[in-house]
Amino acid sequence: MSPDTLLRLQVSDLAFLAPELTLVIAAVVFSLVDLLMPRSFNRSAIGWLTIVALAGSAAFVALQLGVDQPVSLLNQSYRVDDFALVLKLLFLAGTAIAVLISLGMKKEDLGGEDIGEYYYFYLPATLGAMVVASSADLIMLFVGLELLSITTYVMVGMRKRVSVSSEGAFKYIVMGGISSAFILYGMSFLYGLTGSTNLLEINAALRESGIDQFAALLYVAFFLMLTGIGFKIAAAPFHSWAPDVYQGAATPVAAYLAVVSKAAGFALLFRLFYTGFFQVGSAKYPLHDDVFLTLAVLAAAAMIVGNAMALRQQNVKRLLALSGVANAGYLLVPIVAQVGLFHVSGYAELVYYMIAYLFMNMGAFAALAIVSRASGHDDMRGFAGLYHRAPATAFAIVLIVLSLAGIPVTGGFFGKLFILLGAVEMKLFWLALVMIVTSVVSFYYYFGLIRQMFMRSGSEESPIRVTPALGVALWMSAAAGVLLGFFPGPVLNGLERLFRFSTDFFA
């Protein structure tokens, strides 16, 4: 590949990169604002500006939605397709809510002195997630992933004076570093066997040449990458870091990790394994089937381990972390239930559940932010007697918890339902059973929150003050959960219309 044959970025292509560029420019400008403004300047403004920037970026994404023919930029390494665009909207929405939650919290619980940095760090992290969603090249995928990871390492460790924060951040960076190394190591083999880092070219090369010759290496590459991605999406058995890291992180950061970071991991997994390994294999080495069988096993493990471990948790952040592990399992199911006679990729199901998951998880963290602001800790008992102290908030939390538990009629329920339907269509009965039985187990700890709020009395009786930002975040999440429950049709139809497996992945 000589430099002359490179497909260079044209100025006209910049329009396609507008969402990303918005974030970059905003991050740069905000950092300068933060630097140059005097100490007396209220840094919350940067938080609001961050939301504005996210909204602007989302507007650009929304304008691009519905592309017939995906646009490939930067020598085929960056794709603007509906797969990516929808996920980008998801990332942006999740980030905006996380920032909103932050705005309702005390400065000391977030970044202390560095509150300005705290806010605008969300931008590069989200940018990384967006790059992951859009890239069709191993290098690009990796760079995006690392931009996201490294920024979040810092965000977790932002509260420098808090010992658990540093500890969580350190654990996170060690685990994140190891997982990056695994992903990279796997990618290096994939590259070596095909001579390209472009996913489409990799797929074509693997399909053309047949894999018998070096099947072992290919399997090694797959398992290495899977291990790494398993860490990133916190699926069991690679989840051990999650509870510690979430506990160490500030509440909105934990929410961000649980939603945006995880969703980006799924984008990576989806794109990498679908595009990379689609129809790759031979009679002797059915790689493609093995890949998805492995994912199924991983999904089952995540669901079982996540839910089982969450049963004993008293700390709500750790609980949500483990619930996130279980949810990673649920989210893997539609990826496993892939192409069949009457079923093409679980994209719509996956994204629908992701949307529901976004709102319910953000809502749960907003609730935690409200409660821990009043009680000063993250323990379950902080919720005790909430019904008496803030009935409306308690009601909103009930809606969110119902959605998390997957009780009808909520977004969480329909998300799981459609995932199950897909799995059943593909005759993955065992996986469907595991999924549903484990989600029943999850009732126990989700309803534990309800037990605390309605059936116990707390040490204090005074009403809890809910800051407007937190209130908005909470109610928005609760309302979205309910709306998704009553009207799942439009969203799902929209997703179904937008996503085309053949064009979004293979054009």
Partner 1 sequence: MTVDLASSYLTLAAILFCIGLFGALTKRNAVIVLLSIELMLNAVNLNLVALSKYGVVPSLTGQIFSLFTITVAAAEAAIGVAILIALFRNRGTSDVKDMNEMKR
Partner 2 sequence: MLDNIPILSLIVFAPLLGVLALLFVPKENGRLIRWIGIGTTFLPLLLAGWLYASFDLAGEGTQFAESMRWIAVSLNSELLEQLGSVETYRVQFDYALAADGISLPLVFLTAFVATMAAFASVHIKKRFKTYFILFLLLETGMLGVFLARDLFLFFLFFEITLVPMFFLIGIYGLYEREKAANRFLVYNGLGSALMLVAFLILIATAGMSVDGASFIYSGSYDVIFKNMHDAASFSNMGPEFAQNFPNPFFLTEGNRTFVFFLLLIAFGIKLPIFPFHTWMLRVHTEAPPSIVMIHSGVLLKMGAYGLLKFGVFLFPNEAKQWAVLIAILGVVNILYGAALAFVQKEFKLVLAYSSISHMGIVLLAVAAMNGIGVQGAVFQMISHGLISALMFLIVGSLYERTSSTLLSSMGGFAKSMPFMSGMLLVAGMASLGLPGLSGFVSEFLAFLSLFDEMPIVTAVGCLGIILAAVYVLRGVLGITFGAATEASLTYKDARWVEAVPMIALAAFIFLIGIYPAVLSEPLQTTIGGLEQLLTGSEANGGG
Partner 3 sequence: MNNYVLVAIFVALGVFLPVAALTLGRLLRPHKPTAQKQTTYESGNDPVGSGQVRFNVRYYLFALMFVVFDVEAVFLYPWAVAYDKLGLFAVVEMLIFVLLLVIGLIYAWKKKVLKWTSI
- Give the binding site for partner 2 (CB under 8 A): 341-344, 402, 407-409, 413, 417-418, 420-421, 424-425, 429, 432-433, 436-437, 439-441, 443-444, 447, 450-451, 454-455, 487-489, 492-493, 496-497, 500-502
Residue 3 in contact with partner 3, rule: CB under 8 A: yes
**Tokens found for residue 161:** 């004076």
In order of 15, 67, 327, 364, 410, the CA distances from 417 in angstroms are: 38, 28, 14, 21, 11
Nearest-approach distance from CB 421 to partner 3, in angstroms: 47
Query: Which residue's entry shows tokens 């990790």?
Result: 257
The item of partner 2, partner 1, partner 3, none sharing an interface with residue 408, based on CB under 5 to 8 Å by kind, is partner 2
The partner in contact with residue 35, picked from partner 2, partner 1, partner 3, none with C-beta cut-offs of 5 to 8 angstroms by kind, is partner 3
Of 288, 266, 284, 285, residue with least CA distance to 276: 288
Query: Which of the ranges 27-35, 143-151, 299-307, 474-482 carries the binding residues for partner 1, by CB under 8 A?
Result: 143-151
Position 248 contacts partner 1 (CB under 8 A): yes
* Residue 8 CB, nearest approach to partner 3 (Å): 6
Instruction: Tally Cβ neighbours within 10 Å of residue 221.
Output: 22
**Which of residues 37 and 215 has its CB atom nearest to partner 3 in the complex?**
37
Residue from 138, 250, 400, 476 binding partner 1 (CB under 8 A): 138
Q: Check residue 377 for interaction with partner 3 (CB under 8 A).
A: no
Q: Which of 16, 85, 126 is nearest to 499 (CA)?
A: 85
Residue window 313-332: x/- pattern of binding to partner 1, with contact defined by CB under 8 A: xxx--x--------------
Q: DSSP characters for 14-48?
A: GGGGHHHHHHHHHHHHHHHHHHHS-TTS-THHHHH
Q: Which does 433 bind (CB under 5 to 8 A by kind): partner 1, partner 3, partner 2, none?
A: partner 2
State which residue, 231 or 418, has the beta carbon closest to partner 2.
418
Out of 4, 35, 68, 161, the only residue in the binding site for partner 1 (CB under 8 A) is 161
* Tokens linked to 468: 């407007």
Question: ∠92-95-100 over CA atoms, to 5°?
Answer: 125
| Separation of alpha carbons 181 and 184, rounded Å | 5
Q: Is 236 exposed, middle or buried (0-12, 13-18, 19+ CB in 10 A)?
A: buried
**159 neighbors 250 (Cβ within 8 angstroms):** yes
Beta strands in 459-499 (DSSP E): none
Residue 223 binding partner 1, by CB under 8 A: no
Separation between Cα atoms, residue 12 and residue 26, nearest integer Å: 21
- The binder of 150, among partner 1, partner 3, partner 2, none, by C-beta within 5 to 8 A per type, is partner 1
- CA dist 198 and 336 (Å) reads 23
Residues contacting residue 282 through CB under 8 Å, at least 6 positions apart: 210, 211, 212, 215
Q: Among residues 191 and 501, whose Cβ is nearest to partner 1?
A: 191
Nearest CB to partner 2, comparing residues 43 and 500: 500
Of 1, 5, 12, 35, which lies in the binding site for partner 3, with binding defined by CB under 8 A? Answer: 35
Classify the phi-psi angles of 195: left when phi > 0, otherwise alpha if psi is within -120 to 50, otherwise beta. left
- Our finding on whether 10 is near partner 1 (CB under 8 A) is no
Scan for tokens 């929209």, then name that residue: 494
Which residues of the shown chain bind partner 1 in the complex (CB under 8 A)? 1, 138-139, 142-143, 146, 150, 153-154, 157, 160-164, 166-171, 173-174, 176-178, 180-181, 184-185, 187-189, 191-197, 205, 209, 214, 243-244, 247-248, 312-315, 318
Which residues of the shown chain bind partner 3 in the complex (CB under 8 A)? 3-4, 8-9, 28, 31-32, 35-36
